[in-house]
Structure 1
Amino acid sequence: MKRNEWMALIVTSFMMFAVCLSASAKTKKIVERGMTKQEVIEIMGQPKLTSFDAYGDKWEYYKMNVIQGESKRIVVGFDLNGKVIAYNMSLVDDNTNNEVGCNHQRPTLPPYGVGPDAPTYYYCLDDASFSILYNKVKNASFDDNKFDLLQVASLGCYYSCAQTARMMRIFTFGDKQLKVLRMMAPHIVDPQNATDIYNVLTFDSEKSKAGEIIRNSRLNK
């Protein structure tokens, strides 16, 4: 590869790493009483489930702590003016999808980022940041360059299964799609949605390998 191409790749890699660190820093904000729905979306993203009653709206989120292998359910309550009035977080058993607890007594954790023992939960890149990364990888001249960009970006980024699947589709052949997955799997925040990844792959043998990659990435955390 020519020297100019190497320099361009290095500069782009550091730019993408900076984008990922910046996106990760944004997630350190916490949901606070009185916030608007838009402010909650900027911190938490779009809710997984929504509901409402005579008193206001309720948004539900399910987040994965990839370091500790824990899932949590977050419920944000809004009043009739669309302002936050409630925030509740509880652990979820990955095997049963039920909240942890006995006799329906549901233990809760401190608000996100509060307290010395509060676990750190990671959130995938927002759509705008992921689009920057996706386009940089897609438009790189050679496959080796694409992998180099993705490897550097993954030092500071976390992804959803849908984002991982989209990145895999840049490549035509299963072996390279699986290589992408190996790079991104340790940074996936919602492994319960792995079907998005399996649907990219053509052969059952590739899907089986994908399952092993995802499981091993969680065991090694």
Structure 2
Amino acid sequence: MKTLGHLFALLILVVSVSSCAALLGTSNDFLMNIHHGMSREQVLSMLGNPNYRRFDHEMEEWGYEKSIAANPGMTVINISFIDGKVVGMDSFHKHQAVAVPVSPQTDVLMPHPYSSYRPRRLDVMSDRDFQALYNKVKNKPFKDDQLEILSVGVDKRSVTCDQCVRMMSIFTFDDDRLEVLKRMSPNIFDLEHADRIVDSLSFISSEDKARSILGIRR
């Protein structure tokens, strides 16, 4: 009887795994079925409960990590809602880390500041999405609220130097502009144009602080 019970439990496990694989398929084509204006309920019926959830005022974000049979690692999906409707989606593939042995006799060169990881150009925030975020930040009366909305808005999104300069322009004083830069700098894609950010500041001391935040030298 124990053997029969074990076989039955194994059968249930195999059926469950097969069903899950059928849901996700062998590629990420199912992402194409997620579109602007979908309801939370429709997203839930397709992807299930999110791995994490966060919200700020009217903006809400759900995050998923899905395993795709054809790809190693995980597919990360971030879906944004306003008033219960999908207004944006971002997805990328997260590869599993692979250990690479390094000989102790090998000289290791320090990387150039521009060689650190930056999001792919395809992940750069669109002009439309940036304008929506810009308007939300600008319309808030208090600085703390503005910075909080900014942090949520650029999370896991890549931005350009020009977008950063424009967001900084909302604020009058260099100290506030540098605070904006601190929150956006990890997501800046095109650091080869960092001089545009530095030149937007009023004082030499502020320019030096901006270079320090960006990790660049004169």
Which structure ranks higher in relative contact order (CA pairs < 8 Å, sequence separation ≥ 6)? 1
**TM-score, L = length of structure 2:** 0.48
Bigger share in helix: 2
**Which protein is bigger by CA-based radius of gyration?**
2
**TM-score, L = length of structure 1:** 0.48
